[in-house]
Structure 1
Amino acid sequence: MDDVTNQGGFRVLNRLRRIEWDADWDDAYSHVISRQLLMREYLRRSALWAEAYSAEEAWPFFDITNYVAPELSLPQSLSLDLNEFLRTRMVGLVKTTCAGAVRLAELRTQDPAAEKPSLPELYEPLLVMYERGGDFMRDNSGALDLTGVSFRPGTMRDYLGDTPIVTVRASVLDALDTEGRVTFFAKDAGDGPVLRCRLLPGGEERYEVFSDQLNWDTTEAIHTQERGAEGATYTRATPSEAARIIEAMMSGPSAKQREG
């Protein structure tokens, strides 16, 4: 039998313990694109869960088990370990969501049928975001500060959609993150390849294309509609649109042939 500390709530708690919560700002800045998309994906998933369990007033940062199974009781050892972790490491919204992630994982162990199977995994995007540069905070204006980028989350209704904003697949997230200010471009049809323009700290513009080799290669200046190029087929793409194209390329026949 597997060690109980590798199961259920213990597994998620151990994962939280391994996160470098005090990571330097450079680490968070190097993952600024993926961290923002992961936060938006969490907001989407939490909106679906809030609607399903009448938790709209608590959206977006909550312990969902208070609505799914308010009677949930953690094993004593897990409860003690979780409380110690939260007391010494966590504050505010991060504390609430970390507790929710552990408790939801434990609920699945105790009662696999307790939650609605049609809902996406709730806390995974947030856990991956934490792993890619630490925590976040909400300022007095309501904006979310992710270190290196901040944005206003909008309303719950803005996120009630079935289309994922980003995958939690590490290879896709890594392909999105890079140094500098990035603008993505794609064809009008919304398929590959993905191109990007990077404005580096020194002021240099660098143009790159995500190739069939599944990496970024330097290319010539991008001819886009924004630059007034006649007959240009490339238009600005959101990071989420770029992520979907990159994921499709990574899952396509050519990628599978390389793996084989």
Structure 2
Amino acid sequence: MTDKLSRIVLDRLRAINWTDDSGAFNHPHSRALLMREYLRRAALWAKAYDAEPSWPFFDIAGHIDAEITISAHIADELEELLEELAPASLRTTCRGAVRWAALREARNDLPTELPDPYEPLLAMYERGGGYYIEEYLDLNGVMIPLRDVESNASAPAVLTLAPATLDALDAEGEMTYYARISDGYPRHSPRGIVRRRVDDDRTYDEAFTRNLRWEPTEYLRLYDLGHNDIDHVRITEIEAAAFIEALAKKLVGSP
């Protein structure tokens, strides 16, 4: 067994600016989405290996194979990195992600139907550091409820972790997304999507265009006035992300 994959994860952790609060405040919506996806994936692995009491921030590799280890120099570098990080559960997930990489390299019999548990969490850390646990999960800019294993395991899956798609979800204010639908353009494959963003008591209506960015639109205002025949339906942030990803692939191809 080599330490190639665990080294890659360790290098990603070392590259994170754990004290960059501005990064967290610039990416509140995508960080919340990524944390929810981690909680969902971790719940699936916890259920698969009877590890529900250890959920949500735990060493998944240790529950699958108690004998899994990482090389001494990787372990030493990891502990040096984690020395001043808090809370303790954050340190647990960083160790877990490195050990998960070692497990992937050592075993080829892991369940293929279960998604990589730590990738959403690593992506969240890379977009603004860690979190704090109070009454809610505090992600430095947004707070989300923890809930329980079952509700997280049954939550909708986030189908893309592409940085450009995640960037498109981040903006100041509260956002509501809508899909423009008509004959031949159902909710799962709409004509387009728009969002209403409210920030500091000001409302901004924006459409995601073929320029792969949000641009001002009069669609919602005209619809409310009865001047637009194209209907719309409210959709989730996850559905909006799926449309953005599909449009990007259609216009510029897969990365």
Q: Which of 4, 12, 15 matches 1:15?
A: 12
Residue pairs, 1:31-110, within 5 angstroms: 31-109=27-105
Q: Which of 203, 208, 211 matches 1:210?
A: 208
Mean Cα displacement is larger for which, 168-177 or 240-249? 240-249
Provide the TM-score with structure 2 as the length reference.
0.87
Identity among equivalent pairs (%): 38
Contact 1:69–1:114 (CA under 8 A) maintained in structure 2: no
Structure 2 counterpart of 1:186: 179
Structure 1 counterpart of 2:107: 112
Structure 2 counterpart of 1:171: 164
Report the CA distance between 1:9 and its aligned residue. Answer: 1.2
Structure 2 counterpart of 1:137: 132
1:234 partnered with 2:232: yes
Q: Which amino acid aligns with 2:139?
A: L
Matched position secondary structure for 1:187: strand
Contact 1:195–1:209 (CA under 8 A) maintained in structure 2: yes
- CA distance 1:228–1:49, shift in 2 (3 Å): farther
Structure 2 counterpart of 1:243: 241
Task: Quote the Cα distance in structure 1 between the aligned partners of 2:12 and 2:214.
Answer: 31
Contact 2:173–2:197 (CA under 8 A) maintained in structure 1: yes
Q: Which amino acid aligns with 1:207?
A: D
RMSD: 2.3
Contact 2:25–2:141 (CA under 8 A) maintained in structure 1: yes
Report the CA distance between 1:35 and its aligned residue. Answer: 0.5
Task: Quote the Cα distance in structure 2 between the aligned partners of 1:255 and 1:194.
Answer: 19
1:124 partnered with 2:125: no
Report the CA distance between 1:91 and its aligned residue. Answer: 3.2
Segments of 5+ residues of structure 1 without an aligned counterpart are none
Report the CA distance between 1:228 and its aligned residue. Answer: 8.6
How many residue pairs align between the two structures? 246
Task: Quote the Cα distance in structure 2 between the aligned partners of 1:81 and 1:29.
Answer: 29
Q: Which amino acid aligns with 2:30?
A: S
- Shift >6 Å, 4+ stretches: none
Residues 205-251 of structure 1 deviation map (CA, whole Å, 9 limit, x = unaligned): 221100122211111151598x5969672232221121112112122
Contact 2:205–2:220 (CA under 8 A) maintained in structure 1: yes
- CA distance 1:65–1:11, shift in 2 (3 Å): same
Q: Which amino acid aligns with 1:151?
A: I
Mean Cα displacement is larger for which, 172-181 or 32-41? 172-181
Residues 148-189 of structure 1 deviation map (CA, whole Å, 9 limit, x = unaligned): 211212121113248522521111101111123222222353
Contact 1:34–1:173 (CA under 8 A) maintained in structure 2: yes
